[in-house]
A and B are shown apart, each in its own frame.
Chain A
Amino acid sequence: MRHYRKPLAIAVALAVAVGAAGPAVAKTSGQAAAAKAAARAKLMAEHRGGTFTMLAKGAGGSLDPQINYTLQYWQLYQSTQDGLVAFKHAAGTKAFTLVPDLAVALPKPTDGGKTWTFKLRKGIKYSTGATVQPRDFLWTFQRIFKVHTPTAGGFYSGLVGADKCLKTPATCDLSKSVVIDNKAGTVTFHLVKPDAEWLYKLAVPHASVLPWGTPNKDMGTKLPPSTGAYMFTKYDPNHELVLKRNPNFKQWSVDAMPDGFVDSIVQKFGLSVEAEVTQVENGQADFLFDFPPADRLNEIGTKYPNQVHINTLFADWYAPMNVNLAPFNNKLARQAVNYAIDRNAAVRIFGGPKTAVPSCQMLPPGFPAYVAYCPYTKNPGSGKWTAPDLAKAKALVKQSGTAGQKVAIVGANDEVTKGMLTYLQSVLNSIGYKATIKPLSSNISFTYIQNTKNKVQISVSQWYQDYPAPSDFLNVLLGCGSFHPGSDTSINISGYCNKKVNADMQKALQLGIEDPPAALKLWTKVDKATTDDAAQAVLFNPRLIDFVSKRVGNYIWSAQFYTLVGQVWVQ
């Protein structure tokens, strides 16, 4: 109980403050909320209607919300699917705030952080007309394992009985860990151990509710039932994806699932990115899902500055180095690579200094537990990268005794990654290695670099946050538990497993429940330790350039799910 003292103290202080302020404060906040609602209603009356047309090079794969793991559709699910909790539909990092969605309130865990009980809102309906019931959650969470949700083993393996479900998905039974009470309208989760990030994991689309009886197989192009403001009405992966208003939707929380402005959202597929830019310029479409091509950036930045939105991403472009294979099984060799890389050059390849920020560490700026740290630069100390130190890099290679070794750099064969590979090859050759590059099809490169059987020495990869917790970068990418030799899904690409650092990670995860500020401090320490161990060379933190048509209004950027497509208006 000692560890709950801080939040409790804050709660008591708040209660005292509210009590002291008396009814005046309550009245003021009530008036503010009413004014806000009135303003929104006015905007809704003025701007409601129209079609928001998005463009994407290709479809995003299965439409199954428990299977799809692409930003392309996660951006849409935020307006169609609901879980027990949600990330707030708000601008910037305010979107990291968790709000109750299908649940009435955010619960406090019991049993030392292992039990979470949610009370469901009443009367919420699916687009099919059926009512959301507690038993749907049991079906939904069993389905996560039965359809092999990509995060089943990562996010939801903490459920009691999940280990059996992972081994034999077809017979998955979670009735003891997802306990439903239809009469009380509650859903209770029992975890094997405390998980401070459980609410985050419930807020991502993979945990969004589906009706009892939803087939336990990938929906593919079939349309999933929605509980949100919009529902899917057509999906042709060769042509378009259409969303229209959900006739059964009644807004219950403007923070969790606000009503949308446009009547329909259409995502069209098949154009080249160049053609997409031209269509948005001409007003034939409203939004570009893909990153604008490098040779159009100057044009859109100078001719259409008011239609361009530059957004900070919590993401890394990095070069994982295999700590179990020569030459990068030598820490000095890995540090040499870190010293040699000119992050500014990498940023230039990506699209220039407005599109990315050089970095040396896994945690991106502004992220919880982030404290600027960069030892791999000339004149270190400020925490920021300033310039490469080639002399030091060469000295380290010499000291490591790895000079002259052959190194193959692997990555996807898209334009930017290929550029990074070529650049890294030049860097490695310049410090004494014999480097070659191996660009692979984007379809296979990500799994290829993860599998130890392929003996990848160094690669180029990217990581975008799933939810705003340091563990999503550090534990996921560098924890011992994320390293699975011989598997295509070994997201710890470098195979880094420092037992001391890993113990700190586990301690930080535990502390997240008991003492969040202390946990953040520990994560900062882990970030520093992993940077020093140099299992990867972080290149930069990318930014996202959103290019919208002239008619698009109310553009809101959420740090969690990016553009709030349901909140834009087109008239």
Chain B
Amino acid sequence: MSEVAAIGDVGQQSARVVGRSPWALAGRRLLRNRSALIALAGFIVIVVACCAAGWYADSVAHTNPFVSTVDGTTLIDGKQQPVMVESSGGLGLGVTPIGPTWDIHHYFLGADSQGRDVAARMLYGGRNSLIIGTVSALLCCFFATLIALIAGFFGGIVDQILSRVLDLIWAFPVFLLAISVSTVALTSDIPIGPITLSAGSIWLPIIIISVIYVPYVARPIRGQVLSVREKEFVEASIGLGASNLRLIFSEVLPNVVTTVIVFFPLMIATNMLIESALSFLGIGVQPPDASWGTIISDGQGLLYTRPWVAIAPGIAIATTVLCLNVLGDGVRDALDPRARLRVGRR
């Protein structure tokens, strides 16, 4: 195809999409991205499965995955067998939890060292991981956008102060900061206004993760705000006498929101990984509650005899993060103006 013809095609495409909103265009682009759609479907399946945790535990597996059942039994091949099997060979040392039965009614993925159903804990754990990942990403993106808008729009001393605060938070080693805050919170409750963060509260990892990643999201958005602030249409609005509030929310925000949207799924993935790491270290979700990180931590002591306890949540984390990253890429492609050319060529 010659260059002229190609330009001509683009011109025709442009003519066809006239009248559609940028969001509709983005939606169309996203729907044409098969990888992103598969990732979205995968993510939805995971979310639905995790939301069904209570139903699975109560009605399918008939188990309470938060209660120690070291003296429990289960049905395997029609026979009642102990969940924790005492060694009968050699010196008779050790007690090993049963491995995967691959029967969804009875310890599908086996038991952990407390005799709890790993499959049921996986689903409950996934729910916690998803909630923490999503809510912390929401909070993180919200505060990051707010700070970026204020810093980038007003500039000067406001920008200086906010930017240094962000630098300060970002300069702290992420895990050291998280460990410090968590340790304090675990030994004594932390009052934040009317709310008191207590040990074991799911809000603890949510707040920690959302705070430590605010600079990561805020800094590029601030850069964009600085750029948009100098655009002609903003100058025009200023000339028309628009207030700062109107300028920020009507002129600047709509032009940076796509970046925030692109960040959001990626931040869910990142935050889920951080949550898993914190829980693995014992400072995220507190037992007997589960998250995928805590289940990996529980499975660490069973790697030789029951590796599935650690492998299963590992696979779940990897799959979810992969889905979110591919979806995030798809959203970026859909919202990125440069992607229009690719759509035009299809």
Contact = CB atoms under 8 A, between A and B. Distances in A.
A352 B94 contact: yes
Contacts of B70: 345, 348-349, 423
Given A349-B113, A419-B114, A436-B200, A298 B187 contact: no
B96 A355 contact: no
Interface string B72-101: 000000000000101101111111100000
B305 interface: yes
Contact of B93 (A300, A436, A448): A300
Interface string A427-463: 0010000001111110010001000001000000000
A111 interface: no
Nearest to A308: B91
B3 interface: no
Nearest to B300: A415
A351 B93 contact: yes
Given A294-B113, A423-B114, A426-B68, A352 B92 contact: yes
Contact of B304 (A299, A342, A351): A299
A305 interface: yes
A297 B303 contact: no
Interface string B112-143: 01100000000000000000000000000000
A344 B84 CA distance: 12
Interface string A334-378: 000000001011001101111100000000000000000000000
B94 A298 contact: yes
Contacts, number: 125
A342 B72 CA distance: 12
Contacts of A440: 186-187
Contacts of A92: none
Contacts of B303: 274, 295
Contacts of A345: 68, 70-71
B306 A295 contact: yes
B199 interface: yes
Using C-beta atoms within 8 Å of the partner chain, give the interface range for chain A. 35 or more
A293 interface: yes
Contacts of A295: 94, 96, 301-306
Contacts of A454: 187-188
A419 B91 contact: no
Residues of A contacting B: mostly: helix
B11 interface: no
Nearest to B96: A298
A460 to B, nearest CB: 13
Contacts of A438: 186, 199-200, 286
B337 interface: no
Contacts of A444: 183, 187
B318 interface: no
Contacts of B69: 426
A419 B113 contact: yes
Contacts of A425: 68, 288
A422 B288 contact: yes
A296 interface: yes
B67 interface: yes
Contact of A426 (B67, B87, B305): B67
Nearest to B84: A348
A545 interface: yes
Contact of A439 (B188, B282, B300): B282
Contacts of B27: none
A415 B300 CA distance: 9
Contact of B89 (A298, A342, A344): A298
Contacts of A293: 301, 304
Closest 6 CB pairs of A and B: A297-B94, A301-B93, A302-B90, A301-B91, A298-B94, A297-B93
Interface of B: 67-71, 84, 86-87, 89-96, 113-114, 183, 186-188, 199-200, 282, 286-288, 300-306
